[in-house]
Amino acid sequence: MEVKGDALREIVALVPSYVELKGNCTTIYTKEGDSYDVYKTLNTVLKWLANYYLTDLKAVRKYCYEILALKVLVPIPFNNGNVFIPIRVRRPLFKHDGSIGYVDLEYIDKTEEIEEEDDKKVTDMHLKNGITIRCLNSKETVDKHIRNGYIMQKFWSDRAAPRVDKKNFYKEYDKPATKGDIALLMKEIIRLRELLR
């Protein structure tokens, strides 16, 4: 099953999971609080998201490295409103088994440190849609990933293309041409005519 179109926009968290008789899969959590399993690895689902948002994951990771000086566990900004942060959600059973999930920064409500029976500290990440995801990192590590996500969101919004207000654009260019404008046009026409010869 491939997730396509608007369904990709509804994703708020990706968690690697093991499904019996299917193997390494991905559990997808949506904005409405639903979850379902996709019988593909998390990297495949990340590639689907990158294709949907027209994002080059390799270039994004390089950009994150330049800003955060991190090579692994970098936040992935698909656009200004969708920055996914990495969290460790399971212990790998095999080589090349993913243990990292991703959560949309905008849907994190709070983090809470929990002490397990074996005296290990883990963190519960509560999302705004009522879902709780257990992270195997300490609260400090999870909070560091969240801070890195906000840093990337800030840099990503600063590098976004400026929006042009259509009304002001036409208002500006709805004026008569000056002699300087006409001279520039004449120069460009002469240059093009010379190129065509």
Q: What is the pTM of this model?
A: 0.76
Q: How confident is the model at residue 156 (pLDDT cuts 50, 70, 90)?
A: confident
Quick one: CA dihedral 78, 82, 62, 111, positive or negative? negative
Distance CA 140, CA 8 (A): 30
Per-residue pLDDT tens digits for 64-105:
888 888 888 999 998 878 899 999 998 887 777 788 999 999
Q: Which residues pair with 126 in a beta bridge?
A: 110, 132
pLDDT digits (tens, 9 = 90+) for 158-181: 776 666 666 666 666 667 778 888
Contact assessment for residue 45 and residue 51, using Cβ atoms and an 8 Å cutoff: no
Average pLDDT, the chain: 85
